[in-house]
Each structure stands twice: as C-alpha cells, then as structure tokens.
Amino acid sequence: MSGPQCCSNPPTLNPASGAGHVEKLGGLDTYVSGLSDSKLAVFLISDAFDKIAVAGFYVVVPDFFFGDPYAPEAGKPVLTWLEGHGTAPAPGRICPPHGDSALVRPHGSVSSKTLPLPLEAAVYAPNTPHSAASSVMRVDCILPLTSSSPSTSSLLSTTAAASVSGQGQFIFEDKGVEDARPVIEALKSKGISAIGAVGFCWGAKVVVQLAKREVIQAAVLCHPSLVTVDDIKGVEIPIAVLGAEIDQMSPPSLLKQFEEVITANSEVDGYVKIFPKVEHGWTVRYDVGDEAAVKPAEEAHQNMLEWFAKYVK
C-alpha cells in the first residue's frame, strides 16, 4: 500500500479462502495455486485470485509482509509499519577498506527524494557493529550504477553506490526485489521455464525492477504506485500497464508518460490502458455484487491473462 486509496475500498473476501494452499517458497510463506507440474509460472505481488491458475499457470503469491499486514484498526501509524514492510530500499552495506561491514538504510525523511543524498540521509541499522560504524568516515555521494559496472553486474534491480572515504562502497536495492529473488530461484529449481509477474499497487514497483534485468519473461502493472518514468525506460521485456482514471498514485498524466516511453521503444512490446471511471485498486478491491465494478475488473483480468498467454510460454 502506498496511499489512502489503498484502504478506501476493502476487497470482498472469498469465504473458501481460495483454491490454493500455502507453502514455503524461497523462505517465504507463499500462496500457491494451479498445477504443480506446470512449467509456466505467474508471480503475483501482492494481491491474489485463482483465475490465472485456471488458465494453466502455476501461480505463486509470496507473503512479503511476513504475516504482519497493515491493519488500520490496530492503531499503528502507517509510516511506522511501512518502515518494515514497504518497498523502500533494503539495508545496504558499507564496505570500508578494513574491518567489519556497516549496514545502513536511507532515513525515512528522504525516502522519496532523488539521488544523490548526503550522509545524513542514511542511518545505521541496529545490527551495525560499533567498530564498523566508527570506521566509516564519510559518504561522498551516491551514484547510480548500471549493469555494465563490473562490481555490480550480478546485482538485481535498482542499485546505487557511494564512495566511503574514497575506498569502499554503499549498495542498496529495493526491499521487495530482495525478497523476490529467492522465490524466483525456488521456482526455477522446480523446473519452471518461464515466469510472468503482475504487480498491484506497490507490487508494480517490484515487478518493474525485475523487468529491467530479464529475470521474468513478461510483466503486468495494475494501478501502479511508486513507479517512475525512468523505471519504464529501463524495462527490457514485454510490459502491460493497466491504470485507473481516478488514481492519486499514478494519475492519467503519468500513465501517458509511461505510454510515450513504451511506444518509443521498438525493441520491447507493451501498452498502457487507462480504465475510465475506476479508482486505484479496482482490479482486486471491488464489490462482486456491483456490476459496474465487476465489469472493468474482469476486463483487466482478461487483459492480464492474454498478455501472459502471449509471452509466458
């Protein structure tokens, strides 16, 4: 969740709890649905339904919240909850020339700001050894790294680095991507040969990062949050963006910028579709008794299935 619209239209829950089951996958409790011997998988981040499984895909929905979903009635401030569950950068590692490594993370006050960030924009993680913290003198700047950088070519998703006293480096990546990596590896170990991923809301940020390194074969973003134009520019696989006309996180003006980028890239197939008169979350958070809400949701589900049928094979 990334804004108030995420909580404004709670979903209708399936009294049967779905057709699948929960199992450990890549160290995460994961809702699994579909044929276990399928070679084609669809990775949902983070809402679920079984329609994709019925189409013949092996569907997995990892619990990226580790059993602690946000509950407004619990009284916990949403910003406090997001520190441990959002798609903010995961703890990075400062590697000084000698001694232990120091774990750091961006300070919450600058989580939405653009690089470069000053040192005061980072705070030490609680498990940072004192010896490591004292050995780090300064961070000159934070610079984006590309896949051509030899020391980071194996890293997945968005990475950044900073010079530490001119000799070390500070690396961080999206927490959601960090959690997704072992799940993807687990799927491959099961014999899965092609993976499609769909991200809802904040999950779209994770999916678009995976789509930059060809870790998956096709991507669908539904009412995306936190996704930037630069994210879309980095996509290397077929991508479909399904957006809402009424969306504070990805308004039509931003979706049209996504469309311009996708249309200009002749090497990657993709499209943007803006659904009229629907709000953020309409694909999974709707009243099944409201025909006006069901119709656009089912249309989006069908678009998603068609995209995966075309590219996940």
54 versus 276: the higher-pLDDT residue is 276
Its pTM surpasses 0.85? no
CA separation for the pair 238, 231 (Å, rounded)? 14
Identify the pLDDT of residue 37: 81
Helix (H, G, I), strand (E, B) or coil at 150: helix
Tokens representing 108?
A: 């919450």
> pLDDT class for 63, splitting at 50, 70, 90?
confident
* Final residue in a domain of this structure, among 173, 201, 233: 173
Are residues 214 and 305 part of one domain? Answer: yes
CA angle, residues 202, 58, 63, in degrees to nearest 5: 35
Q: What is the rounded average pLDDT of the residues 162-183?
A: 55
Q: Are both 224 and 157 inside the same structural domain?
A: no
Termini Cα distance of the chain: 31
Q: What pLDDT is attached to residue 262?
A: 97
Residue-wise pLDDT tens digits, 27-60: 877 878 887 788 888 877 655 456 777 788 888 8
Give the rounded percent of residues in the chain with a pLDDT score beyond 90: 30
The whole-number pLDDT of residue 13 equals 45
**pLDDT, tens only, 212-236:** 877 899 999 999 988 889 889 999 9
CA distance 137 to 205: 33
Task: For residues 66 and 45, give the distance between their C-alpha atoms in angstroms, rounded to a whole number.
Answer: 13
Task: Identify whether residues 306 and 185 lie together within a single domain.
Answer: yes
Q: Give the pLDDT score at 47.
A: 52
Within a domain: residue 296? yes
What is the predicted pLDDT for the residue at 11? 47
Q: Both 296 and 192 in a single domain?
A: yes
Q: What is the mean pLDDT of the chain?
A: 70
The pLDDT confidence band at residue 206, using thresholds 50, 70 and 90, is: confident
- Beta strand pairing call for 122-124 and 28-33: unpaired
Kindly tell me the sign of the dihedral angle through the C-alpha atoms of 36, 39, 40, 41: positive
Of 144, 173, 202, the domain-final residue = 173
C-beta separation of 238 from 197 below 8 A: no
Last residue of a domain, one of 148, 173, 198: 173
67 and 117 both lie in a single domain: no
More confident call, 110 vs 44: 44
Residues 162 and 182 in one domain: no
- Find the mean pLDDT for residues 151-174: 33
Name the residue range of residue 121's domain.
89-173
**Residue 43: both structure tokens together:** 């990775």
Of 66-70, 74-78, 198-202, 298-302, minimum mean pLDDT range? 74-78
Q: Would the pLDDT of 237 be above 80? A: yes
| Residue of 65, 25, 19 lying closest to 188 (CA atoms) | 25
User: Do 268 and 206 belong to one domain?
Assistant: yes
Say whether pLDDT at 272 is over 90: yes
Instruction: Answer yes or no: is 81 within a domain.
Output: no
Q: Using 50, 70 and 90 to split pLDDT, how confident is the model at 89?
A: very low
Do 164 and 57 fall within a single domain?
A: no
Pair 116, 186 in one domain: no
By the 10 Å C-beta count (0-12 exposed, 13-18 middle, 19+ buried), 138 is classed as: exposed
Q: Can you read off the two tokens belonging to residue 224?
A: 């995306």
Indicate the number of domains in the chain.
Answer: 2
In terms of domains, do 246 and 122 share one? no
Q: Which residues contact 270 (CB under 8 A, 6 or more apart)?
A: 235, 238, 239, 240, 241, 262
Q: How confident is the model at residue 72 (pLDDT cuts 50, 70, 90)?
A: low
Would you state the pLDDT for residue 168? 33
Pairing of strands 194-200, 40-45: parallel
Measured from the Cβ of residue 250, the count of other Cβ atoms closer than 10 Å reads 24
* Predicted local distance difference test score (pLDDT) of residue 86: 54
Please state the rounded mean pLDDT for residues 229-248.
94
Read off the amino acid at residue 92: G
Same domain as 138, residue 29: no
Identify whether 80 is part of a domain. no
Same domain, 204 and 300: yes
* pLDDT value for 154: 27
> Which amino acid would we find at residue 217?
Q
189 exposed, middle or buried (CB, 10 Å; 0-12, 13-18, 19+)? exposed
Mean pLDDT of 277-302: 90
